[in-house]
Amino acid sequence: MKKVTAALLAGAAALAFTASAQAEPDGEAIYNQACMACHMTGAAGAPIRGDEAAWAPRLEKGMDTLYANSIDGFQAMPPRGGHMNLSDEEVKASVDYLLEPVL
């Protein structure tokens, strides 16, 4: 019985950790994994992180448009930066991180 209780407690702790991890995605980590290759080099015309001139016309369209383009794909950028396993919230967190220097 003690083993079952310990297993249940361990499972509950793991579930709680997963839930908290999902509640607050790490935009920087996601950017480093999924976005940096293009948004650090400008590959395929991707605007570079911190380039105010490149981001200005995009920001004029609003954050909802930037989020939608990141989730659905836009021009040469595939949906979710090619990482289809990312949730909408994770994509939005990476966009927020990407735009931090120009907001």
Q: Is the pLDDT of residue 22 over 70?
A: no
Structural domain spans, the chain: 26-102
Superfamily, domain 26-102 = Cytochrome c-like domain (1.10.760.10)
41-76 CB burial, b ≥16 within 10 A, e <16: eeeeebbebeeeebbeebeeeeeeebeebbbeeeee
Q: Which ranges constitute the DSSP H helices of 1-103?
A: 2-23, 27-30, 36-39, 52-60, 63-72, 88-99
What is the Cβ-side half-sphere exposure of residue 12, based on CA atoms within 13 angstroms?
Answer: 6
SS3 30: helix
Tell me what the pLDDT averaged over the chain comes to: 87
Name the residue with tokens 């989730």. Answer: 71
pLDDT at 103: 95
Name the residue with tokens 């793991």. Answer: 14
Counting residues of the chain whose pLDDT is more than 90, the rounded percentage is: 78
Residue 68's closest CA among 80, 52, 76, 60? 80
- The residue-averaged pLDDT of 50-76 equals 97
